[in-house]
Structure 1
Amino acid sequence: MDDGSARVTLSRGQRVALGVLAGGLALAVLLDAGMAVVTAAVVAAAVLYVVGIGVKLFLIFGSGEARVLRVAELPPDEALPRYTVLVPLHREGRVLPALLGHLAALNYPADRLQILLLIEEDDEETAAALPGVLPPACTVVPVPPGGPRTKPKACNVGLGMATGEFCVIYDAEDRPDPDQLRKAVAVFRGSPRWMVCVQAELQYWNPWTNWLTRCFAAEYAVNFSLFLRGLDRYRLPIPLGGTSNHFRGDALRDLGGWDPYNVTEDADLGIRIARRGWSVRIMDSVTEEEANSRLGNWLRQRSRWIKGYLQTWLVHMRSPGALRRELGWRGFWSFQFTVGFAALAPLLNPVFWVLTAIYLAAGPRPIEALFCAPALYAGTIAMIAGNLLLVLAHMAGCMERGLHGAVRTMLVVPLYWVLMSAAAFRALVQLMRRSRRHHWELTEHGLVPAPEPAGASAR
C-alpha cells in the first residue's frame, strides 16, 4: 500500500525533484543570482496566496445554492438495515460516561445496531471507566499494541469486525443528532450507488468558553456551513472531517479502509473516494463536539491536522498525471487549494507579515528591491482585500450558525491565524523527524463541563 500510504513520506520521484530543486538553488547562489531567485520565489508565493484566498472565497460565498441532502421523512424500523458505529478511544475515561449516554440515545433499533468501542489493549484509563453493563449493542474491541498507534489503525480493526451495511465514525466527545443514522439510511437509499459517503455537519457546543473557542467555533462554522457546501455545490472532492462520516460498508472495504500512517486519514479518504469516481455529499444533520479551550491542547491538535494535510498532499502528488486524469482538471486544482494550500498558507503567512513589518518600519525601498512598483501595490491591495473578505466570511459563518455574540470577536481573528502558523511550523518539524512523522498527538477532552441535556432534570 506504499504507493497510496503515508508510511513513506517522499516517493523516489519526489526525492529526485527535491534534489534537483536544491541543486538549482545552490547553482543560482554560485552564479550570484540568489536575489533573483528570492524575488521569483516571493512573487510566486504572493500569486499563489492571492489565488488561494480567491478560490476559498469563491467557494464560501458560492455555497448558498448548495443542495445539502435533507430528509423529509425518517424510515420506519422495518426498513432499517444493520448499522455499524465505530468509536476509537484512547485515554478517554473522563468523557466515556457521557459518550455512552449519547450512543444509547441514538434512535435506532438495538437489534440492528453494532457499536464497537475500539480501545487500545494497554489503555487502562478507558478500560477502568467502562461500566459493568454496557448499553445495548455496545461491544469492546481491543486494539493490538504496536505502531502506528493512530485512530485510523483502530478504525481498520473495527472495520474488520463490522457487520453493518453502513458504517459511521464517532469520536469520544461527540454528541450526534439522535436521528442521524436514520437520516443517513434515507439519504443512501435515495442516492445512486456511486454516492458512497455522507458527511454530517460538525458544530461546537461550547463556543462561549473563551476567545479561543469562539474563534474555533467560527472556523468550524465557515468550514462546515459554507466551505464544504461550496465544494458540494460544484461537485468537487471533499476532504472529510474526522467524525460523523457515514459510509457504504462495501465501498469502504473496497477502498482498503483508512491509511493507518496518515494522521488526517479522513481528508485522505475523501480524496481517494473522488479518485475512484465516487462522491461525498453533505447531509443536513449535526454532531456537536467540544471545542479546545486550552492553547497547548489546541496547538497539538492543529499541528496534527496540518501534518496530515501535508502527508495527504504528498501521497496524492506522487503521480500528478494520474491524479489529474482521475479527478479531472477541476478536481485536480480543487485538491491543490483545499488540501495543499490549506497546509501551505499558515507557513506563508509569516513571510508576508515580515515583509509588511519591513515596509512599515523602513519604507518601500527595501521591498521594491523584490518587486516592481505595480506588482508590489497590486499584490498588497489584493492580499489586504482578501484577508478582509476572509474576516467577513468568518462573520458570515457566525451568523449562519447563530453565533451572533462571536461576530465582534472576528475583528481580531488574524491573531488566531498567528496561532495557526505556529502550529504549521510545528507540524513541518514533526514531518521531517522520523520519530514524530506518524505520531498521533492525543487531544484531551472533557476540559469543559458539558451542559445538562434539556429535560434531563425532569427525567
Structure 2
Amino acid sequence: MTQVRVESPLATLSPELSAQKLLSRGQAVGGVVVIATVVLLLTLSATVGFGPSVLWYGQFAVAAVTVVYVAVIAFKLAMVFRADGSPVLRFEPDDLHAIPDQDLARYTILVPLYREASVLPYLVERLSALDYPADKVQILLLIEEDDTETRAALASMELATQFEVVLIPDSPPKTKPKACNVGLSRATGEFCVIYDAEDRPDADQLRKAVLAFRLLPDRVVCVQAELHYWNPWTNWLTRCFAAEYATNFSLSLRGLDRHRLAIPLGGTSNHFRTDALRELGGWDQYNVTEDADLGIRIARRGWDVRMMVSVTEEEANSRLGNWVRQRSRWIKGYIQTWLVHSRHPVRVWRELGTKRAVAMHLTLGFSTFTTLINPIFWALFVSYLITGPKYLEPLFPPLSLYAGLATMVLGNVMMCYCLMNGCMERGLHRAVRAMLTVPLYWGLMSVAAYKAVFQLLRPSKRHFWELTEHGLVSHEA
C-alpha cells in the first residue's frame, strides 16, 4: 500500500468562478441599491403617499412569486415528461467486450474519505471487485491528515497495489472538492471518476464509461451514471429520498440531457476526461456542491455532459438530523453555485445561450427560492382558513389568487405524480403510497433551506462541510 502526503496544489480556478466570496463587488453593490430603493419607495408611499400604495407593492410581490412558482413547476414537469426521448447511453453486456482488455485506458478512481472507518472494508471490497484490469486502475484513497480513525483502520488492512493512500493537508477549507483536487494532481489515468465511501457502483461501470468516451465526440467531457439508494425501505424518510433520487436521475436529468441543457452533476459516479478536467481548473474547493458547479462550468465552456445507464447505489439517510445536515449543505451549495454564475449575467447568457441560461436559473436559483418561500405561503393559507379572507384578500387580486390556488393544488398533485413515476421507473412500487405524504418531506426541505441561508450569512460556516454519517444501516440490507 502506497501512502503519500501531498501539499494542496496551487489553485487554477479563476477567482470569479470560485465561491470563496459569497458575492462579487457588483452583486453586493447591486443588492444594496435594490434593497435601499425598495425601502425608500415603501417609506415614501407610507409617509407622504408618493407613488403606488404599500398594498400595491404587496400585490406585486405576490404576483411575482406566483410567476416564479409557475415557471419552476412547469420546468420540472417538462423535464420529467420529456425524459423518454432522451438519447441516454445504453450498453448491452456484449458491447463491453468491443475494447480488448489490453486496449482499455488507464483509469483513476478518486475516493474522498473522512471518518469512514466503519464502511472502509466494504468500500475496498467493492472497488476491488470492479470488472477492470487491476494494472490499469489507480485508486486514490484521499484521507484527511487529522483523520486518525480512518488512518488507523487503513493501517490494519492489506490493500492491493492499485490502491494509494493520499493524505490531505490539515488546512482550510476542509472540503471534498479540495481533497479531489489533491487527488487530481496525482491522477495518472486518461479518465477519472469519483466514488463516495458508501457507493456500490455496477461492476462494469468503468468499461461502460470508457466505451462511451470512445464513441462520443471530444466535446463530451463527462458521463454521469445514475445514483440510487440500496436501502429505500428503512423508514418513511428513505422512501421519500429514494423516490426523489429515482425521479431526478431516471427522469429529470434525462430530460436535461435530451434538450442539451446544463446538467448539475451528482456528487459521485461522474466520469471525466482527465485532461479536460484539469483544463477546467478542477473543482472549486470553496463550493460545497462542487459537482453542480462543475456541470455549469462544463456547459459554459461549450462542452457536454451525457447521462449513462449504469447504477451506483448509495445509502439513503435514515436519520432526520443527519438528513437535514446533508440537505442544508446541498442547498447551500446550490445557492453558492447560482450566485457564482450570476456574477456576469450577460457573459453567462452569451456562453450558455438563452435556453441553457434560463434552465440554469430555474434549476439552481429559482427552485431554491421556492423552497424558502414555501413556509410563508403555507402560513398565509393556514391564516386564510382560520381568519377568513378579509385580511388576506387585498393581497391577492383575482388573477394572483386563482393562479396561486392552481399552482398549489395542481402543482403539488403533479409533483407527487412525478415522484410516483420515478418510483415506478426504478421498481420502487411499495414507495408509491408514501408519495401522498411527500408535502411533509418538502417541509423538511424548507427547514434545511433556512439553515443553509443562515450558514451562508456566517463567514465561519460559509464553506463548512457538514459531514454526512454513513453506515447507519446494515450493509447486508
Scaled by the length of structure 2, the TM-score of the pair is 0.93
Partners of 1:135 and 1:419 in 2: how far apart?
43
Unaligned 5+ segments in structure 1 are 453-459
CA distance in 2, matches of 1:302, 1:375: 31
**Which AA in structure 2 matches 1:269?**
L
CA displacement 1:113-170 (0-9 Å, x = unmatched): 0000000111011111114321341100000111000000000000000000000000
1:392 deviates by 0.4
Note if contact 2:66-2:403 (Cα within 8 Å) is conserved in structure 1.
no
Aligned partner (choices 20, 28, 47) of residue 7 of structure 1? 20
CA distance in 2, matches of 1:37, 1:21: 14
Cα pair 1:100 1:135 within 8 Å, conserved: no
CA contact (8 A) 2:62 2:400 kept: no
- Is 1:85–1:168's contact at 8 Å kept on the other side of the alignment? yes
Residue 342 of structure 1, aligned match among 367, 384, 399: 367
* 1:310, distance to aligned residue in structure 2 (A): 0.2
Report if aligned partners of 1:359, 1:367 keep a CA contact under 8 Å in 2. yes
TM-superposed CA distance for 1:39, in Å, is 2.3
Q: 1:26 is matched with which residue: 8, 14, 39?
A: 39
Contact 2:59 2:397 in 1 (8 A): no
Please give the secondary structure, in 1, of the residue aligned with 2:330.
helix
- TM-score normalised by the chain length of structure 1: 0.97
For residue 101 of structure 2, what is the aligned residue in structure 1?
A: 77
Is this contact kept in 2: 1:309–1:340, CA < 8 A?
yes
Residue type of the partner of 1:36? W
Q: What 5-or-longer segments of structure 2 have no aligned partner?
A: 1-13, 47-52
Moved more, 390-399 or 364-373: 364-373
Q: Which of 423, 437, 442 is equivalent to 2:448?
A: 423
Structure-2 separation of matches of 1:368 and 1:49: 20
1:378 to 2:378 alignment: no
Write out per-residue CA displacement over residues 248-283 of structure 1, whole angstroms, 9 at most, x where no aligned residue.
000000000000000000000000000000000000
Deviation of 1:46 (Å): 1.1
2:80 counterpart residue number: 60
**How far does residue 383 in structure 1 lie from its aligned partner after superposition?**
2.8
Q: Given that residues 275 and 326 in structure 1 are in contact (C-alpha distance below 8 angstroms), is that contact kept between their aligned partners in structure 2? A: yes
The equivalent of 1:88 in structure 2 is: 112
SS in 1 for 2:395: coil
One-letter amino acid matched to 1:395: M
Q: Which amino acid is the alignment partner of residue 264 of structure 1? A: T
The answer (yes or no) to whether the contact 1:70–1:283 under 8 Å persists in 2 is yes
Cα shift readout 1:230-260 (whole Å, capped 9, x = no counterpart) = 0001110000000000000000000000000
Give the C-alpha shift of residue 382 in structure 1: 2.9
Shift of 1:5: 0.1
Aligned length: 452
Provide the C-alpha distance between the structure 2 equivalents of 1:24 and 1:380, rounded to a whole number of angstroms. Answer: 31
- Structure 1 345/378 Cα, relative in aligned 2: closer, same or farther at 3 Å? closer
- Deviating above 4 A after TM superposition, structure 1's stretches of 4 or more consecutive aligned residues are none
SS at 1:369's partner residue?
A: helix
Amino acid at match of 2:69: Y
Residues 104, 136 of structure 1: 8 Å contact kept: no
Match of 2:357 in 1: 332
Q: CA deviation at 1:357?
A: 0.9
Distance 2:268 2:314 in 1: 10
Q: SS in structure 1 opposite 2:170?
A: coil
Q: Residue type matched to 2:469 in 1?
A: E
Distance in 2 separating the partners of 1:415 and 1:98: 34
Specify the alignment match of 2:123 in structure 1: 99
Instruction: Tell me by how many angstroms 1:11 deviates.
Output: 0.4
